[in-house]
């Protein structure tokens, strides 16, 4: 098989949650353990950091990987989903896994794969762990795909774990309350292993404290130790942060955009602090340099990313109620005359909750990504009208964006989002 044929096999022969949703979700680790046994337990051959949460885990993972890489370590990075290239999911020091490696992995093990019939995600995790072990990475930052307790990544024994924001997402799989969702995320907490909680959320903090106590795991609430006192946009295009840590005032410039990075940065800094106590040599200069160059070092895309000027065009992968809330806040802080919203979503989200947050004083271009999970663009328009959101419907993301560009004036703002897959099609 060539690379395109290999991708076609991965996408069409294996159940893929990103495309078909709940039908691809495996509520047990059976296949993951079988794959791990087959490949000789590759995750045991490298150190790791585990990152879970509803929102923020991607940015957190990329910032941590950038810092470790800048400090001189060979760093694996596993994230999901990808935006434009499958290989974005598996990187070492920012470089994607080679196409030939993907081809060889699938070709060499296809008979076993066909027999086991793992999901797309289960196999991709196995590929990542096998690749990191073969390449002898010093450490890998592993982002949870969905939940935590039953996620395929949860076979690792990390140096530490991080849990970011907890919000209402994937409620059909993880539970219909914050505490139930937090309990699933808390499944990554391991015995005697430090856990860093990004945000102190009163509704769920006790879930994490109880789980940590039961595992004799030291627990740290990062926002209590690293208090963001100032956040501002800089003339150089970076975000400036002033952070109070005990009696120290810290200053950082971060290239990742979005006001919501104020929730992610404290947990990154706390994780680095813990890694240093474990013997990792990470200088203040490495931290500073990495945070201002995370996108270049790791290839992260889709976080309040500018993709056009005159008019300004921004996209963001926020795709649930909490994510949209942060996007709306960011839009309000971005100078513009008229607002144009290119919006699509998937059918299994809290669509009413998301639509209720979107600004009414905007022109909407309702659309859908080209995946089976996408909510039909005409149905989205109809739902949106009940929330006072007015606009036209377009069958493809690119046709919707083209219409927005044609209507917008130079000082207007076009936002593209509502779904990771909508963003993927414009990037």
**Domain termination residue (choose one: 240, 274, 298):** 298
CATH number at residue 374: 3.90.190.20
Task: Please determine, for residue 140, whether its predicted confidence score (pLDDT) is greater than 70.
Answer: yes
pLDDT category at 383 given cuts 50, 70, 90 is: very high
What would the pLDDT profile of 291-348 be if each residue is shown by its tens digit? 999 999 999 999 899 999 999 999 999 988 988 999 999 999 999 999 999 999 998 8
Q: What would the mean pLDDT of 73-94 be, rounded to a whole number?
A: 96
78, 84, 366, 387 from 140: Cα distances, Å: 8, 22, 39, 44
What pLDDT, on the 0 to 100 scale, is given for residue 170?
A: 59
Pick 48 or 371 by higher pLDDT.
Answer: 48
**Does 5 have pLDDT greater than 80?**
yes
Predicted confidence band of residue 373 (pLDDT cuts 50, 70, 90): confident
CA distance 107 to 86: 17
For residues 271 and 360, state if they share a domain: no
Domain boundary among 266, 298, 330: 298
Q: How confident is the model at residue 21 (pLDDT cuts 50, 70, 90)?
A: very low
pLDDT at 372: 86
pLDDT of residue 172: 63
Shared-domain flag, residues 293 and 328:
no
Are residues 168 and 264 both part of a single domain? yes
81 lies in the same domain as 35:
yes
Q: How confident is the model at residue 146 (pLDDT cuts 50, 70, 90)?
A: confident
DSSP structure class, residue 152: G
Determine the pLDDT at residue 167.
81
CATH number at residue 197: 3.40.1190.10
- Grade residue 20 by pLDDT with cuts at 50, 70 and 90: very low
> Is the predicted pLDDT of residue 2 greater than 70, yes or no?
yes
What is the greatest pairwise CA distance in the chain? 59
Mean pLDDT of 270-286: 98
Q: What pLDDT does residue 19 have?
A: 47
- The full DSSP string for 20-82 is HGGGG--SSSHHHHHHHHHTT-GGGGSEEEEEE-SBSHHHHHHHHHHHHHHTT--EEEE-S--
From 230, 264, 298, give the residue that closes a domain. Answer: 298
Structural domain total, the chain: 2
> Which range among 161-165, 224-228, 257-261 shows the weakest confidence by mean pLDDT?
257-261
Pairing status of strand 90-92 against strand 339-343: unpaired
Residues 317 and 417 in one domain: yes
**Percent of the chain scored above 70 by pLDDT?**
96
Give 281's contacts (C-beta < 8 A, 6+ positions apart).
Answer: 71, 72
- Are residues 270 and 354 both part of a single domain? no
């Amino acid at each position: 098989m060539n690379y395109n044929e290999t991708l076609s096999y991965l996408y069409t022969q294996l159940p893929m949650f990103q495309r078909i949703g709940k039908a691809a979700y495996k509520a047990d680790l059976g296949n993951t353990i079988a794959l791990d046994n087959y490949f000789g337990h590759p995750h045991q051959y490298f150190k790791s950091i585990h990152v879970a949460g509803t929102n923020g885990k991607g940015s957190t993972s990329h910032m941590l990987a950038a810092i470790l890489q800048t400090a001189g370590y060979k760093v694996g990075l596993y994230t999901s989903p990808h935006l434009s290239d499958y290989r974005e999911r598996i990187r070492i020091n920012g470089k994607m896994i080679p196409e030939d490696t993907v081809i060889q992995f699938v070709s060499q093990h296809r008979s076993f794969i066909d027999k086991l019939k793992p999901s797309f995600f289960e196999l991709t995790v196995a590929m990542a762990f096998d690749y990191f072990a073969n390449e002898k990475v010093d450490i890998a930052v592993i982002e949870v795909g969905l939940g935590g307790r039953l996620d395929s990544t949860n076979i690792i024994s990390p140096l530490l774990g991080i849990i970011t924001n907890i919000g209402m997402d994937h409620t059909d799989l993880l539970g219909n309350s914050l505490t139930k969702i937090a309990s699933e995320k808390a499944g990554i907490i391991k015995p005697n292993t430090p856990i860093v909680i990004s945000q102190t959320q009163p509704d769920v903090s006790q879930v994490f404290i109880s789980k940590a106590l039961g595992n004799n795991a030291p627990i740290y609430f990062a926002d209590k130790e690293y208090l963001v006192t100032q956040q501002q946009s800089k003339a150089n295009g970076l975000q400036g942060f002033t952070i109070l840590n005990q009696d120290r005032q810290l200053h950082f410039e971060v290239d990742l955009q979005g006001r919501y990075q104020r929730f992610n940065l404290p947990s990154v800094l706390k994780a680095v602090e813990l890694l240093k106590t474990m013997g990792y040599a990470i200088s203040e200069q490495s931290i500073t340099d990495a945070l201002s160059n995370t996108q270049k070092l790791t290839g992260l895309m889709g976080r309040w990313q500018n993709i056009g000027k005159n008019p300004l065009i921004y996209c963001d992968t926020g795709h649930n109620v909490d994510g949209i809330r942060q996007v709306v806040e960011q839009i309000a802080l971005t100078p513009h005359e008229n607002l144009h919203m290119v919006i699509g979503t998937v059918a299994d989200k809290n669509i009413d909750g998301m639509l209720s947050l979107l600004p009414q004083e905007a022109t909407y271009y309702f659309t859908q990504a080209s995946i089976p999970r996408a909510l039909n663009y005409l149905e989205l328009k109809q739902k949106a009208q009940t929330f006072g959101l007015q606009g036209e419907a377009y069958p493809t993301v690119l046709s919707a964006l083209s219409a927005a560009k044609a209507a917008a004036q130079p000082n207007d703002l076009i936002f593209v989002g509502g779904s990771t897959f909508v963003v993927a099609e414009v990037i």
